[in-house]
């Protein structure tokens, strides 16, 4: 099923629409002190079920070395690997990949954590949707693990207590014309886009020398929502890491929506392959009647289309319209732009040091999740 696993330099990572599997993301993390490594491997093409040949597909993945203390770390695979097997072969493939990877990681790794962007195994099961067609989420953890470990030898995969990167998102099809994109939006969203235009809100691109404009809006947003505030240098790293000489470059745009010279909303847009990703966003608590975030998103989509992107990742929503969910506001806002909800498998652990993993897992549960920085 899998062969020829070998290490390579991060700059040799192949082009991908998944920004967290690019050389650019590796560079971002290095700038804030987190090391990474990259691996090439081959898989039999017939494992996808679409071909019955023994042709090999060559692919790769980026692995972050996330320390938990001086001597131990997690091998974290953000939204990877990209290559996705059929559901019935999922655990078998990932087990073989894990066992091959163990011997190539530095000493001190207690587990491999895959943050899978693979389609949920329960997405086609009507039992996990309510009468209105809303996704109610996967089954209990033990049921998830039973299915995930199907066909594996060691039955060693465990569902993490929480996901790190978003496991629920919305993809907007940018192959549509601008008029069709607008028509696919909810009426209120179209109205707010046009309202912001009538009120004189316009969007422009900022340079690294203007990043303080972003940070002021971001800090205000974080305080308003009671979330952790990253420091300014982190966002400088996101902006500076171009990886233009690599096989998987990314283009980073810092956009701001403003009325006259008054910044009202801002966002980081990252383009990799044919996908544009809305990575970070912020808005002012003032002049919310001007609907600047709507103008900002629409202009980001138009920019992505101009850059020949075929899809737009809204990057993170609640799994369903539950008013009690902390991301419900994002769900309401982002679903207004049309697009399709996507539910991924999220984080799965393959323990290497079983005893230490037990303690680490208990510590995670007590802290309600160990969140590595995105």
pLDDT for res 246: 85
Q: Which is it for the CA torsion 297, 302, 307, 312, positive or negative?
A: positive
Q: What is the DSSP string of 266-331?
A: EEEEEEETTEEEEEEEEE-SS-GGG-HHHHHHHHHHHHHHHTT-SEEE-----SS--TTSTTHHHH
Residues of the chain with pLDDT under 50: 47-49, 51, 369-374
**CATH architecture assignment, domain 175-309:** 3-Layer(aba) Sandwich (3.40)
pTM check: above 0.85? yes
Neighbouring residues of 170: CB distance < 8 A, sequence distance ≥ 6: 313, 314, 317, 334, 335, 337, 339, 340, 341, 342
What is the tens place of the pLDDT at every residue in 97-113? 999 999 999 999 999 99
Residue listed under structure tokens 């990252």: 270
Q: Which helix (H) or strand (E) holds 265?
A: strand 262-272
Cα→Cα distances 281→231, 243, 310, Å: 15, 22, 21
- First-to-final CA distance of the chain: 31
The structure tokens listed for 291 are 């609907």
On the question of a common fold for 2-167+344-366 and 175-309, the answer reads yes
Q: Which two tokens stand for residue 290?
A: 């001007």
Predicted confidence (pLDDT) per residue in 129-178, tens digit: 999 999 999 999 999 999 999 999 999 999 999 999 999 999 999 999 99
Tokens of 356: 């230490």
Report how far Cα 314 is from the mean position of its chain's Cα atoms: 10
Q: Return the domain boundaries, the chain.
A: 2-167+344-366, 175-309
What pLDDT is recorded for position 365?
Answer: 84
With CA atoms as reference, report the closest residue to 237 among 265, 202, 279.
Answer: 279
Are 13 and 23 within 8 A, CB to CB? yes
Pick the CATH number of 2-167+344-366 from 3.30.830.10, 1.10.150.120, 3.40.630.30, 3.30.70.270: 3.40.630.30
Report pLDDT for 46. Answer: 57
Per-residue CA distances from 181 to 25, 266, 293, 305, 312 (Å):
29, 22, 17, 11, 11
């Amino acid at each position: 099923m899998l062969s020829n696993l070998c290490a390579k330099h991060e700059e040799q990572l192949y082009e991908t629409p998944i920004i967290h599997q690019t050389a650019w993301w590796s560079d971002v993390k290095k700038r804030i002190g987190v090391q990474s490594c990259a691996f090439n491997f081959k898989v039999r093409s017939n494992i996808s079920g679409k071909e019955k040949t023994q042709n090999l597909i060559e692919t790769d993945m980026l692995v972050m070395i996330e320390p938990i203390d001086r001597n131990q770390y997690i091998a974290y695979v953000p939204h990877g690997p990209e290559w996705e097997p059929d559901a019935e072969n999922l655990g078998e493939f990932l087990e073989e990949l894990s066992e091959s990877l163990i011997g190539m990681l530095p000493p001190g790794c207690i587990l491999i954590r895959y943050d899978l962007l693979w389609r949920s195994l329960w997405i086609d099961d009507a039992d996990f949707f309510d009468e209105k067609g809303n996704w109610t989420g996967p089954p209990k953890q033990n049921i998830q693990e039973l299915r995930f470990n199907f066909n594996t030898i060691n039955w060693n995969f465990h569902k993490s207590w929480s996901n790190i990167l978003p496991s629920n998102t919305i993809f907007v099809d940018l192959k549509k014309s601008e008029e069709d994109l607008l028509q696919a939006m909810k009426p209120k969203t179209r109205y707010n886009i046009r309202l912001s235009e009538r009120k004189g809100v316009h969007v422009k691109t900022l340079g690294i020398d203007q990043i303080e404009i972003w940070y002021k809006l971001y800090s205000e947003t974080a305080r308003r929502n009671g979330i952790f505030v990253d420091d300014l240098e982190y966002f400088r790293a996101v902006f500076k890491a171009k990886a233009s000489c690599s096989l998987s470059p990314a283009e980073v745009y810092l956009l701001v929506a403003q009325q006259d010279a008054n910044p009202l909303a801002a966002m980081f847009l990252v383009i990799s392959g044919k996908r544009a990703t809305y990575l970070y966003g912020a808005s002012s608590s003032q002049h919310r009647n001007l609907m600047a975030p709507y103008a900002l998103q629409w202009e980001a989509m138009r920019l992505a289309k101009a850059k020949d992107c075929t899809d737009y990742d809204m990057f993170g929503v609640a799994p369903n319209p539950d008013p009690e969910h902390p991301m419900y506001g994002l769900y309401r806002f982002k679903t207004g732009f049309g697009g399709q909800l996507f539910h991924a498998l999220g984080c799965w652990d393959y323990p290497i040091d079983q005893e230490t993993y037990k303690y680490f897992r208990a510590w995670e549960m007590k802290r309600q999740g160990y969140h590595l920085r995105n």
